[in-house]
Each structure stands twice: as C-alpha cells, then as structure tokens.
Amino acid sequence: MNLDFFRLRLARIDTGMPWLALLALITGLLAGGVILAFRLLVEGVQGLFLPGGDPENYEALAPWARLALPVAAGLLLGWAFSTLPPHARAVGVVYVRERLVYHQGRLPWLNAVVQFFAAAVSIIGGHSVGREGPAVHLGATPGSLLAQGLGLPHNAARILTACGSAGAIGAAFNTPLAGVIFAMEVILQEYTIAGFLPVILAAVSATTLARWVYGDSPAFQVPQLPWPQVAELPWVVLVGIALGGLAVLFVRLLEGTTRWAQSRSWNQRLALAGLVSGLIAVAVPEVMSIGYDTVDLALGQSLLLTALLAITAAKVVATAIGLGLGLPGGLIGPTLVIGATAGASLGMLIHALLPHHAVTSGTYALLGMGAMMGAVLQAPLAALTALLELTGEAGVILPGMLAIASANLTAGELFAHRRSVFAVLLAARGLDYDEHPAAAALRRVGVLSAVDRDFVVLPRRVERHVAEQALAQRPRWVLVQEDGALTSLLPAADLAAHLEVDKGTEAVDLLEIPAERLSVAPLDFRATLEDAWRLLREHHVEALYVTRPEGEVVYGILSEEDVERFRTGP
C-alpha cells in the first residue's frame, strides 16, 4: 500500500478509521511518555531541595526562600524568552488552539521543547501555575508531528492533535474520560462520532502508560463525602452562582493583565511575575506551585475559614497576574485549587447559618472544583466527567451537574456570550476567531475525498487526434497547461462540441474555442474543504486543482460548485 492511498483513506475519517485508530494509539503512547518525562523532571528536582523531599512542601520553606525562588525563576525565564526567536515563545493551550484554528494543527517541535523546560522552571520555581496546560501542548505535539511526518490530510492531523491532548490530560490526572471530553469540548470544540473513537484510544493508551509508572490512584485524595439531599440543592445552586462570579473575576483579571503585558518586554514581564508571586507566597505559602496538597486539605476539612479565604484570594491574584504576564504554565490546576478552597469556604459559611446542615465543607470543596473548572473553561461536561472520575462515586453526578450548570450560566451571562478562557486570551492577543457556521463541517473532510478525478491535462494548443484520444477517456474537465503552468479549466463537453462542429481543424487552441472557462488555483492535497472554500474566496477563482506542493501530481479538480454543495448540504 502506497502512502497516497493511505492519505486518501484518511481524507474522510469514516473510511480511514482503522488507520487513524492505530495512529491514535501511537500518539497516546508518545503523549503519555512525554508527560511522564515532564512529571519525573519536575518532581525529581522538587524532591532534591524541598523539605522532606515532598514535591508539594513549599510551605515549609523559609520566608526568604519563598520570595527568592519565584523571583529567580522569573528572571531566568525572562532572560530565556528574550533570547528565543519570537516564533518559539508561544506555548500552552492557547497556542494549541491558535495552531488548530489558523494553522491546521501544525505544531513545531521547538515550541514543545521550550514548553517542556520553561514550564518545569515555572513550576519548580513555585509560581502559581499548573502542569495540565503544558501537558496539553506537550501531548498534542507528538500527534501533530506524526501527522506532518506522514503528510496526512489536515482533517486527520487535527484529530491526532486532539488525541495527544486527550492522552496528556488522561495521563496527568489519571482521568482518561475527562481527557476525551476535554479534547472534544475545549481543543477541537466540536463533537463528532468519528472523532471520538481515536481520541478515546489515545486517552486509554496514555493513561495506561501513566498507571504503569504511578499506579491507578487519582490525582486527589477524595474521602467519603455525604451528598446533598433534595432540600439542600438550593445551596448547591448558590455555591455554583458564587463560583461562576469568581470565575468571571479570574478570567477578566487574566485578560486585563494579558492585554497590559503585550507592550512590555519579556524581561520586564517575567521579572514582575516573579516578584508578585514571591511577595504573595511570603504571606500565603499555599499559593506556591501546583497546590494539590491544598486541595486534599480542603477536601479533608483540615483548613480554617480564614486560611481558605486567604488561599482563594491569593491564588486568584497570583495565577491571573502570573499567567497574564506570560508565565509558561497552565491554569487548569490552579482553577481546581481555587474552586476547592472557595467551595470549602462557602460550605463553612452555610454550616454557620444552618448548623444542622448535613453536607460537609469537603463536599462543597469538590463541587466548587467542578464549578470553577467548568465556568472558566466553559466546558461543563469535561468538568463533570473529571468530578466523576476523581471520586468514583455516582452520587456526585446530580449535585455536580447542578453546581456546574449554575456556575456556567452565571459566567456566561456576565460575559454576555459564552466563551472559554482560551478564546478570551486568543482575542486579547489580537486573534479573535469568528467561525462561519458551516466551517466545522467543511473542516472534517479532506479535499482528496471530494475531488473530481474525471479530468485530463492538455496543452493550450493541442493536435486534434490528441484531443480526441483524451476525450475518449470520457473526462468531465480539461485542465489547460501553458508554458508549464496550469492556467484554466474548461468542461470537456465544450471541447467535444467544438470538435464535432469544426471537423476540418487539425489543431485546437483551448483558450480560443467557444467554451466556458474557469479560473483556477492550486491547493495542497492535505487541505480540508474549509481551506478550499477560503482559497476560492480569497483568490477569486472558480475552481481548484489539488496537487502536491512540488506540483508533480494533480489528484483532481474541485470546483466552486462542488465545495458549495458540501457547505450547504444536498
């Protein structure tokens, strides 16, 4: 089987599913391996200098160390980013979304290397960032590079990029199903039956690899918790509303900082990020690094109300300002910490008002995690799935749905239109993407599966017998070649009609005979129908011929009418 046949099958996901499934499994293993390497690096270095060798024990550091560590990391990162070429500085989930939207999921390897080491420095340095955002970038890159190396159609490349993202989330949290939903809801931002299967396989293979190394315990130690009864559900709604408002505050602070930082140098931005993080850490050491130990304490009801409130406020400010200034870390982990401490705080306040309330603050901490994650990401199903996988308890579904739905509705109404934090940050960087309603459907189909192969290529001036031999193949189109370039397209029926009428001619000028002629432009064989539609509009041509970038092989013809038929439906 040659590679062109392989690409043709993958141009439509449904016809190339066995091959895409195999590539998804490979992508998942690659993504899982990268995440393991990243985690081993971060936790290994943390274990060398943190008291007791505990990767989370930043609270035991002396105040001067809690200030110096983030400042030193910020200065190091500022120097590194100022020396890197501009195209290599972009990292994180927002960058993955940008490459999917504007570059068909083509992720360069250099940016992934920068993400790997820069995120490690940021986390080890105690900045209030998570590892899941970098993990998504690191996981998506092997899938993208695999697709690029095989020259796969862009629709397949997008799926493999999502496969890597799903595998990364599954391996980082030990939540394969949440990884699948995250990839579809946040990365691809669409649900398709054909897309689910390869993403599932990637999440399974990556999570299995992570469990082989770290075991199958979830990321958080969730105790047995009582679930709200029917009479207590109104309080769950109020907690969701409060977390939705907090999510809006967090996203707007992050957006405002991002816009402010655009005109500052990397040295200034990251030095300031280090100073802010260090000063906050002196007063509230729990804000440092990932903070999953704080989540465990909130779930276990081991923190006082004053501590919970202080951690919530500090984590919101440190995370939003740090990431807004350009720290190469993730925001998913911090949103879980914020949700846990804010939810536990609200649970304590509810108990103060209603002493006989049966639900503990640990329950509200768990519900707060889902509500905050869902509202910030505008990904309610991913947040609910994460809660279910973290607890393994079916009882969390009903209150979790209620808390997440009320938080998402609150955040959506306050924003006036529902967009995830990643879409907001893209807009803050001048990349506001307004998708055409039909674009998603066009993006799923590669041009190789839609091209018309009933065509012949003829020179502009052609001998009669050569034209008759070409027409004997019963083509639909004649692609005209002049001086080595393909210049126009005409219906084969028009050429046949001319030969029938003018029987005395021995040579034919295809640009002079009475015929309909369409202007043409080349299109890369890896493109999707969305690419074709945009190229037709931008170049004001009426048809496209699909070819390799080298121009050696023409695979077929794609007329404006053909693309329009896919766009509007039969």
Tens of pLDDT, residues 543-568: 888 887 665 678 888 888 877 776 65
pLDDT at 12 over 90: no
pLDDT of residue 152: 81
| pLDDT band with cut points at 50, 70 and 90 for residue 569 | low
pLDDT tens column, 185-222: 888 877 776 678 899 999 999 999 999 998 887 777 78
pLDDT of residue 534: 82
pLDDT: is 105 or 44 the higher one?
44
Q: Which of 220, 227, 214 is nearest to 403 (CA)?
A: 227
Contacts of 407 (CB under 8 A, 6+ apart): 240, 241, 243, 244, 247, 371, 372, 374, 375
Q: Counting Cβ atoms within 10 Å, is residue 556 exposed (0-12), middle (13-18) or buried (19+)?
A: buried
pLDDT: is 481 or 371 the higher one?
371
Phi, psi dihedrals of residue 445, rounded to the nearest 5°: -115, 125
Residue 463: which H helix or E strand, with range? strand 461-463
pLDDT of residue 13: 58
Architecture of the CATH domain 450-568: Roll (3.10)
Q: Which of 221, 104, 186, 206 is nearest to 153 (CA)?
A: 104
Q: Counting Cβ atoms within 10 Å, is residue 452 exposed (0-12), middle (13-18) or buried (19+)?
A: middle
Phi-psi region of 558 (alpha: psi -120 to 50; beta: other; left: phi over 0): beta
Residues 245, 248, 252: CA angle, nearest 5 degrees = 145
The full DSSP string for 259-323 is HHHTTS-HHHHHHHHHHHHHHHHHH-GGGSSS-HHHHHHHHTT-S-HHHHHHHHHHHHHHHHHHH
| pLDDT band with cut points at 50, 70 and 90 for residue 102 | confident
pLDDT of residue 1: 47
pLDDT of residue 194: 67
pTM metric for this prediction: 0.82
- The 3-state DSSP class for residue 202 equals helix
pLDDT tens column, 165-189: 999 999 988 889 999 999 988 888 7
Does 1.10.3080.10 match the CATH number of domain 230-428?
A: yes
pLDDT at 267 over 90: yes
pLDDT of residue 37: 95
Contacts of 310 (CB under 8 A, 6+ apart): 283, 284
pLDDT tens column, 400-414: 999 999 999 998 877
pLDDT of residue 415: 61
Q: Which of 172, 102, 108 is nearest to 134 (CA)?
A: 172
pLDDT of residue 69: 97
Tell me the CATH number of domain 3-221, given options 1.10.3080.10, 3.40.50.300, 3.40.605.10, 2.60.40.790: 1.10.3080.10
| pLDDT band with cut points at 50, 70 and 90 for residue 303 | very high
pLDDT: is 562 or 158 the higher one?
158
pLDDT at 10 over 70: no
Distance from chain centroid for Cα 340:
24
- Determine contact, residues 340/391, Cβ cutoff 8 Å: no
- Cα distances from 348 to residues 242, 302, 399, 476, in angstroms, run 14, 12, 17, 74
Positive or negative, the CA dihedral 259, 263, 266, 272 is: negative
Within the chain, all domains assigned CATH 3.10.580.10 are found at: 450-568
pLDDT of residue 19: 80
pLDDT tens column, 216-263: 877 777 888 888 888 889 999 999 999 999 999 999 999 999 999 988
Among all chains, which residue has been given the structure tokens 């846990």?
340
Within the chain, all domains assigned CATH 1.10.3080.10 are found at: 3-221, 230-428
Share of residues in the chain with pLDDT > 70 (%)? 92
In whole angstroms, give the CA distance from residue 96 to residue 190: 15
pLDDT of residue 101: 77
In whole angstroms, give the CA distance from residue 186 to residue 331: 13
Phi, psi dihedrals of residue 263, rounded to the nearest 5°: -95, 5
pLDDT of residue 7: 64
- Determine contact, residues 124/118, Cβ cutoff 8 Å: no
Q: Which of 360, 268, 341, 284 is nearest to 318 (CA)?
A: 284
| pLDDT band with cut points at 50, 70 and 90 for residue 431 | low
In whole angstroms, give the CA distance from residue 345 to residue 298: 9
pLDDT at 3 over 70: no
